[in-house]
Amino acid sequence: MTPRAATRPVGTVTRGTTNPNRLRRMDRWIAAVHGAELRRAQRPVAVDLGYGAAPWTAVELLGRLRTAAPRTAVVGIEIDPARVAAARPYEREGLEFRHGGFEVPLPAPPQLIRAANVLRQYDEDQVAQVWSRLCARLAPAGPHGSRGGLLVEGTCDEIGRRHVWVALGPEGPRTVTFAARLASLDRPSDLAERLPKALIHRNVPGEPVHAFLRDFDRAWAAAAPYASYGARQRWIRAVRDLTADWPVTDGPARWRQGEVTVAWEALAPRGR
């Protein structure tokens, strides 16, 4: 009998660029909005998919999620076997590394899949298929108000000052979050260069994400007098103005962090 061939991971090895603390904004947001779902699970598992050439983001994800849900375990999954071998010495209680791809090779569906700066190196027309494959791997919605697992897929700059991500549940896309270090932001549309793959090519007139960033810049300009109280007060004022025309789903507690979250349907590319 011939041994069964190992299944090939789904996806492609891409550049492994990463940095310590790069994904802190995303980690904190996940802990805040998904912490209750992680606490509810018997054995909460979070996946850091495509953690890159060093395991920093997976190590940090474990630390930050455990502040919200102490029983959480993190599995770092990488498609490049050499990067898995390099990460193994960092394994510890609650943290392991596995070779794999978009098939997410785990025995049970995870409560979280985080894929940061992974799809950016794929083609735009691959995104929908990857999203539906990953969403199908998430823990399903359940009793007692559980909405199921969360896929967080997005992009940031090298040191994590500018970040945009999409959050998806088992049913599909839910929200888009913009997050920035406000002191280094000239205007909200500076975040356009960090839009996730599904949106970055749609920042053109006629597309909703373009209209959103245009309106955000206008609200930011109108809020200029608040700059004397600091960039945070200006951001909060601008986001409050935006709520008149856009379905902002979060509130001042998140805006204070330099974030705003909007319903996906409002920003989805035309024709989707």
CB of 51 to ligand SAM, least distance (A): 5
Residue 66 found at the interface with ligand SAM (CB under 6 A): no
- C-alpha 155/C-alpha 179 separation (Å) is 11
| Segment lying near ligand SAM (by CB under 6 A), choices 12-20, 210-218, 221-229, 255-263 | 12-20
Q: Which is nearer to ligand SAM, 37 or 48 (CB)?
A: 48
CB of 78 to ligand SAM, least distance (A): 5
- C-alpha 229/C-alpha 75 separation (Å) is 42
- Residue among 160, 113, 126 nearest 17 (CA): 160
Give the one residue of 78, 157, 250, 259 binding ligand SAM; rule: CB under 6 A: 78
Q: Which is nearer to ligand SAM, 98 or 187 (CB)?
A: 98
Q: Which residues contact 100 (CB under 8 A, 6 or more apart)?
A: 9, 77, 78, 79
CB of 134 to ligand SAM, least distance (A): 10
- C-alpha 37/C-alpha 19 separation (Å) is 28
- C-alpha 186/C-alpha 217 separation (Å) is 10
Residue 61 found at the interface with ligand SAM (CB under 6 A): no
CB 171 within 8 A of CB 151: no
Number of C-beta neighbours around residue 134 at 10 A: 22
Give the one residue of 41, 62, 77, 139 binding ligand SAM; rule: CB under 6 A: 77
Residue 80 found at the interface with ligand SAM (CB under 6 A): yes
Give the one residue of 12, 67, 129, 184 binding ligand SAM; rule: CB under 6 A: 12
Which residues are paired to 263 by β-bridges?
Answer: 175
Site string for ligand SAM, 113-152 (x = CB under 6 A): ---xxx----------------------------------
CB 54 within 8 A of CB 23: no
- Which sign, positive or negative, has the C-alpha torsion 37, 251, 271, 101? negative
CB of 226 to ligand SAM, least distance (A): 32
- Give how many residues touch ligand SAM by CB under 6 A: 26
CB 203 within 8 A of CB 233: no
Chain residues 37-56 in contact with ligand SAM, contact rule CB under 6 A:
49-52
Q: Which residues are at the interface with ligand SAM (CB under 6 A)?
A: 10-18, 22-23, 49-52, 57, 77-80, 83, 101-102, 116-118
